[in-house]
Chain A
Amino acid sequence: MAAREKQTSQVNEFNQAFKPVSLWADAWKRLRKNRFALVSLWVVAFYILISLAAPLLTSLGIIYDYKGQIMAHANLPPSMLSAGEVTIIKIEARIALLEKQLEENGTKESAGGYSASTGFDFGSPAASSEEVAPPPEGAGEVLEEGVEAGEPQVSDARDFTMGFGDPIQTEIDQKKEDLAKMMKEININPIHRRVYLLGTDDLGRDMVARIIAGGRISIMIGLVGTLTAVFIGIIVGAIAGYMGGYIDNLLMRFVDIMYGLPYMLIVIIIMAMIGEKARGSFVILFVAIALVSWLTIARVVRGQIISLKNSEFVEAARSMGASTPRIIFRHLLPNTLGVIIVFSTLLMPGFIMNESFLSFLGLGVSAPDASWGTLVNEGVRGMEVRTWQLLGPAISMTIFLFCMNFLGDGLRDALDPQSKNRT
Chain B
Amino acid sequence: MARYFIRRVLSLIPTLFIIVTLSFFLIRVAPGGPFSRERTVSAAIMENLLKRYHMDEPLIKQYVRYLGDVLKWDLGPSFRYKDQSVNELIDAGLPVSMALGITALALAVFLGVLVGIISALKQNKWQDYVAVSVAVVGISVPLFVIGPILQLFFAMKLKILPVGQWISTNGLQAIILPAITLSFPYFAYIARLSRASILEVLRSDYVRTARAKGLKESVVVVKHVLKGALLPVVTYLGPAFSGIVVGSIVVESIFIVPGIGKPFVQSAINRDYTLIMGDVIVYSLILVVANLLVDIIYGFLDPRISYK
CA distance A405 to B139 in the complex (A): 8
Does B245 contact A390, Cβ atoms closer than 8 Å? no
- On whether A129 and B142 interact (CB within 8 A), knowing A138-B262, A269-B23, the answer reads no
Instruction: Please report the total number of B residues contacting A with Cβ < 8 Å.
Output: 64
Does A394 contact B149, Cβ atoms closer than 8 Å? yes
* B168 at the A interface (CB under 8 A): yes
- On whether A265 and B271 interact (CB within 8 A), knowing A136-B168, A260-B15, A361-B249, the answer reads no
* A289 at the B interface (CB under 8 A): no
B149 CB to nearest A CB, Å: 7
Q: Which of B26-34, B208-216, B218-226, B300-308 contacts A (4 or more CB under 8 A)?
A: B26-34
Q: Which of A129, A132, A423 makes the CB contact (< 8 A) with B192?
A: A423
* A271 at the B interface (CB under 8 A): yes
Give residues of chain A (347-374) contacting chain B, Cβ–Cβ below 8 Å. 349, 353, 356-357, 360-363, 373
Q: Which of A268, A349, A356 makes the CB contact (< 8 A) with B144?
A: A356
Q: Which of A99-107, A224-232, A376-384 contacts B (4 or more CB under 8 A)?
A: A376-384
CA distance A230 to B263 in the complex (A): 33
Give residues of chain B (113-154) contacting chain A, Cβ–Cβ below 8 Å. 136-137, 139-145, 148-149, 151-152
CA distance A394 to B242 in the complex (A): 25
B287: which A residues are within 8 A, CB to CB? 260-262
Q: Which of A134, A262, A422 makes the CB contact (< 8 A) with B245?
A: A262
CA distance A262 to B261 in the complex (A): 13
B200: which A residues are within 8 A, CB to CB? 421
* A276 at the B interface (CB under 8 A): yes
- On whether A268 and B264 interact (CB within 8 A), knowing A356-B142, A380-B254, A394-B149, the answer reads yes
- On whether A137 and B15 interact (CB within 8 A), knowing A132-B169, A274-B30, A275-B32, the answer reads no
Does B26 contact A357, Cβ atoms closer than 8 Å? no
B267: which A residues are within 8 A, CB to CB? 272
B195: which A residues are within 8 A, CB to CB? 423
Q: Which of A273, A363, A384, A423 makes the CB contact (< 8 A) with B29?
A: A273
B63: which A residues are within 8 A, CB to CB? none
How many A-B Cβ pairs are below 8 Å? 155
Does B253 contact A265, Cβ atoms closer than 8 Å? no
Give residues of chain A (244-274) contacting chain B, Cβ–Cβ below 8 Å. 257, 260-265, 268-274
Closest to A279 in B: B269
CA distance A137 to B148 in the complex (A): 22
* B67 at the A interface (CB under 8 A): no
CA distance A274 to B271 in the complex (A): 10
B278: which A residues are within 8 A, CB to CB? none
Closest to A256 in B: B15
Does A376 contact B144, Cβ atoms closer than 8 Å? yes
Does A132 contact B170, Cβ atoms closer than 8 Å? yes
CA distance A136 to B56 in the complex (A): 35
* A5 at the B interface (CB under 8 A): no
Does A377 contact B144, Cβ atoms closer than 8 Å? yes
* B258 at the A interface (CB under 8 A): yes
A138 CB to nearest B CB, Å: 6
Does A349 contact B169, Cβ atoms closer than 8 Å? no
* B94 at the A interface (CB under 8 A): no
Closest to B147 in A: A380
Does B144 contact A362, Cβ atoms closer than 8 Å? no
Size category of the A interface is: 35 or more
Does B144 contact A257, Cβ atoms closer than 8 Å? no
Q: Is the interface of A mostly helix, strand, loop or mixed?
A: helix
Q: Which of B136, B164, B265, B283 makes the CB contact (< 8 A) with A129?
A: B164
Q: Which of B29, B144, B249, B253 makes the CB contact (< 8 A) with A264?
A: B249
**Residues 398-423 of chain A: 1 if any B CB is under 8 Å from the residue's CB, otherwise 0?**
10011011100000000000000111
* A128 at the B interface (CB under 8 A): yes
Does A406 contact B254, Cβ atoms closer than 8 Å? no
**Residues 135-169 of chain A: 1 if any B CB is under 8 Å from the residue's CB, otherwise 0?**
11110001000000000000000000000000000
* B163 at the A interface (CB under 8 A): yes
**Residues 220-255 of chain B: 1 if any A CB is under 8 Å from the residue's CB, otherwise 0?**
000000000000000000000011011001100110
A223: which B residues are within 8 A, CB to CB? none
Does A357 contact B144, Cβ atoms closer than 8 Å? yes
**Residues 171-193 of chain A: 1 if any B CB is under 8 Å from the residue's CB, otherwise 0?**
00000000000000000000000
A132: which B residues are within 8 A, CB to CB? 162-165, 169-170, 256
A-B contact pairs, 8 of them (CB 8 A): A136-B258, A137-B92, A269-B27, A356-B142, A362-B265, A373-B144, A406-B136, A421-B199
Residues of A whose CB lies within 8 Å of any CB of B are: 128-129, 131-138, 142, 257, 260-265, 268-276, 349, 353, 356-357, 360-363, 373, 376-377, 379-380, 383-384, 387, 390, 394, 397-398, 401-402, 404-406, 421-423
Q: A260-B291, A275-B271, A362-B265 are in contact. List 17 more A-B contacts (CB 8 A).
A: A131-B163, A132-B165, A135-B258, A257-B15, A257-B19, A261-B19, A262-B283, A269-B276, A272-B30, A273-B29, A275-B31, A376-B145, A376-B148, A384-B156, A390-B149, A401-B140, A405-B136
